Amino acid sequence: MNFGDEIEGEVSRGARALVICPEIRSQRQTRDADARLEEARGLALAIGLDVREATIVPVRDVRPGTLFGEGQIERIATDATMAEAELIIVDGSLSAIQQRNLEDKLKRKVIDRTGLILEIFGERAATAEGRLQVELAHLDYQQSRLVRSWTHLERQRGGFGFLGGPGETQIEADRRMIRARMGRLRRELEQVRRTRALHRSRRERAPWPVIALVGYTNAGKSTIFNRLTGAGVLAQDLLFATLDPTMRAISLPGLDKAILSDTVGFISDLPTQLVAAFRATLEEVTAASVILHVRDIANPDSADQKREVLNILAELGVGTGEGEFADIPIIEIWNKWDLLPPEQQDELAHVSEGEPDILRLSAITGEGMDEMLARLGAVLTGGARVHAITVDAADGQRLAWLHAHGEVLGEHDAGDGSAGPRRRLDVRLTERELGRFNTL
Give pLDDT, residue 130: 76
1/191: higher pLDDT: 191
Matching fold, domains 16-121 and 385-438: no
Q: Which of 97-106, 202-211, 354-363 has the lowest mean pLDDT?
A: 202-211
Q: Helix 147-157 crosses helix 170-205 at what angle (to 10 degrees)?
A: 140
Q: Is the pLDDT of residue 83 over 50?
A: yes
Q: Which of 3-7, 61-65, 196-200, 235-239 has the lowest mean pLDDT?
A: 3-7
Chain Cα centroid distance, residue 231: 20
Highest-confidence range of 24-38, 159-173, 411-425, by mean pLDDT?
Answer: 411-425
| Overall average pLDDT of the 317-343 stretch | 85
157/95: higher pLDDT: 95
| Class level of CATH domain 385-438 | alpha beta
Nearest to 40 by CA among 16, 10, 20: 20
Show me where the domains of the chain are located: 16-121, 125-190, 206-381, 385-438
Give pLDDT, residue 149: 42
Distant-in-sequence, close-in-space partners of 424: CB < 8 Å, separation ≥ 6: 388, 389, 390, 411, 412, 413, 414
Residue 45 main-chain phi, psi, to 5 deg: -65, -35
Annotated binding site for Mg(2+): 222, 242
State the CB neighbour count (10 A cutoff) for residue 388.
11
| Overall average pLDDT of the 294-320 stretch | 88
β-bridge pairing 290-296 and 330-335 = parallel
Q: Is the pLDDT of residue 269 over 50?
A: yes
Q: Which of 91-100, 114-123, 189-198, 344-353 has the lowest mean pLDDT?
A: 189-198
Distance CA 314, CA 208 (A): 25
pLDDT digits (tens, 9 = 90+) for 173-194: 888 888 999 999 989 988 887 8
Q: Residue 280: which pLDDT band, with cuts at 50, 70 and 90?
A: low
Annotated binding site for GTP: 215-222, 240-244, 262-265, 335-338
Does domain 16-121 fall into CATH 3.40.50.11060?
yes
Q: Residue 154: which pLDDT band, with cuts at 50, 70 and 90?
A: very low
Q: Is the pLDDT of residue 156 over 50?
A: no
Highest-confidence range of 20-24, 169-173, 433-437, by mean pLDDT?
Answer: 20-24
Give pLDDT, residue 369: 94
Q: Is the pLDDT of residue 4 over 70?
A: no
Give pLDDT, residue 203: 59
Question: Average per-residue pLDDT in the chain?
Answer: 82
Does domain 206-381 fall into CATH 3.40.50.12140?
no
359/150: higher pLDDT: 359
Annotated binding site: 215-222, 240-244, 262-265, 335-338
Angle made by CA atoms 383, 386, 392, in degrees to the nearest 5:
130
Q: Is the pLDDT of residue 22 over 90?
A: yes
pLDDT digits (tens, 9 = 90+) for 210-228: 899 999 988 998 889 888 8
Q: Residue 238: which pLDDT band, with cuts at 50, 70 and 90?
A: low
